[in-house]
Structure 1
Amino acid sequence: MTGLTQRRREPGEEPRPDDPDREPPYLDLDRLEARAREVLAPPVYDYYAGGAETESSVQEAPQAWRSWRLRPRVLRATQADLATTLLGTPVGTPIGIAPWAYQGMAHPDGELATRRAAARVGALMTVSTSATHSVEEVAAAAPDAPAWFQLYRQHSPEHTADLARRAGAAGYRALVLTVDLPVLGRRRRDLRNDFALPAGLRMANHPAPDDRPALSANASTSWTFDDIARFAEISDLPVVVKGVLRGDDAVACARAGASAIWVSTHGGRQVDLVVPSAHALPEVVDAVRGEVAPDGSDVEVYVDGGVRAGSDALVALALGARAVFLGRPTAWGLAVGGADGVAAVLTGLSEELAHAMTLCGVATPHDATPDLVVRAGWLPR
């Protein structure tokens, strides 16, 4: 994990096996989170790590992937190739970066460092509306690498529409509508800490406080299915709908003009006791099978939530996800090692995925088919 070594050794000194600061020869996300907790201010760590109410959904998400078991194929000599396409855009790995807010709290370069790391690895980054650098600044940090822009409903319909237009003009390849936030989840850690953006940082894509128009009493706090096609037209981009956990909602989004559905619990930060992404994914994949995107291609499905190992990612691909996205692990990587830390997380999990694919006789992400997994009936559902 280049760039994450904590202790400075003397010139020529070799790391000792018992050195507590010696990097393990694999991606240790628990250790990485512990180190991130040491360098982040407590309210910032709580903001990234916390979830809604009792945080049951946060805790259950990783374990939900472990309720599946792989069924390896044997006698298939293969070398795994992770390359795939997302909405027609080539990427080097099906493991990408989910949108997460206020990255400048984790590292001074914030989203710019994350963008450069994703470009280095060949991964796709989804840039949050709640970024500490603007739509254009993040795009310019790696102008030739693909990225998507995630859109929240902003302080006025006009400002939200302008953000969508700017994303299209800046070269983003898709617009990701996050639809699971009609109101902010009740996050007890943030309430306890009276969380606020640290001094010196800005919500770069939000209007300045003095420029924010007041919403009328009749203003809607939510989007509708009609907004999917509307934002596709405004931005001239394919629309991904993020935050879907039901098959019927997925079909409605697809028929309203979505090019892809993103299964997500918002990191367990919105509704507690929500169905884990690992369990919602098969229903959504089954529901949209045969649905057609506006360009005539099949509607794609993505997933995030609790992916912490290459085998988790392989289960997701086998269940029908075209890609998996990471949130908190990239936050810990950014906090500890900047761009190098994010690249180390993406590389480590991609290497684990390739290793698991080889062991299971899977040559490409598209070869991970449903017969590769079975629900572990002896484990709690």
Structure 2
Amino acid sequence: MAPITSAWTRPALSTGSHQSLGSSPAMIPSSIPNLTGSTTGSRNLDGPLPFSLVSSFLMFAVMGVTKAWAFNPFLTRSFCVKGNREFTELVRQLSKSNRQSYARNEGMRPLITYSNHVATVDDPITWSTLPISLIANNRTSRWVPSTREIVFNTPLKSWFFGNGQSICIDRGGGIWQEGMNASIEKLKRGGWIHIFPEGKINQHTKIARFKWGISRLLHEVLHLNPTIVPIYVRGMEQVVPLDPVTRNTYSPVRDRDLLVAFGNPVDGAEVVRLSGTDRRVDHSTAGLKENERDSSLTKTVSDEVSHLDSFGLPMYSPLDVSSPPDEGSPHHHPSDSLRSRIQRSLTTDTLRTKLVELQRNAESWWEEELKKRGKWQRKGVLDVTKFRVD
């Protein structure tokens, strides 16, 4: 299969600035493989044996507890799952194909999944719908970027979540931070990254604007033809609602209805094609003087912005993409370009649109499924529309 290329080019990163996430023992346990190193060296898919054993054990334990809660009729009123069998088969096929490519010293195809983020338990409940033999195997399980301030803020939590295949990222640290670089390295090795593009817990029914991180992940590995799968979740915000004043979460609430819906897989190249990146950018800049280009490109992104998301921000990507960040900003990279920023915006908007489409279909399917089970209307639904941020 011929490699698929993108007009977006990754800015060159200084190798001297790379640091292993394992170099900070308070944040990432030293047993975790170096995720920011060069892929031209060791190509061990599984990582060191101690990490593999600990990771698999932790994932097995967490998934066991989560399954016992989510599928227990005395604790959960209903748990509706759509598309998990097809997704399981997809992961297994990709894993098998990548093993064969690895043996032939060929490029391996990565998997990127993304979903809305309604509660702290989204991750374990979502993967509890998959066979435990799949998700408790560090060879086939996902890696998930997780925020330092919540997940990696103590040595114990750093050890636990790090061995549970979380990658430390800093909120507000920009798309060029080490955690994003580590995620890209995992993808280049045929790994699976799951990301929450909203960047925060959003318990509103309206999906918030996506951050650019997911777009960078996609474009960096576009030559490997990544598989993209949207996932929609709902009901977890009823299990662990955020306190309206403190924004804290407390003990889980029982007897609630849960939904996990896996969307159809799509090739990364198809996402870029649907975003019309090259056509829209080239058309917008054709024949314009340099000083006219910024306003035209900004308009290209902002034409459709007529509504706000649940955080009170435009639902689509930032409007001021024409202006590069200041040099002192974490969002600045010396080799970044106007064209790259526009492409990230358009691709991010396309990915969000796909999740919104999945949301509509999944909500309709959920209603019909609950009616079949005699459980409609949903029981004890809390008003969480005002709960925005964790």
Same fold, TM-score > 0.5, yes or no: no
With structure 1 as the length reference, what TM-score do the two structures score?
0.28
With structure 2 as the length reference, what TM-score do the two structures score?
0.28
Considering Cα pairs closer than 8 Å and 6+ residues apart, tell me whether 1 or 2 has the greater RCO: 1
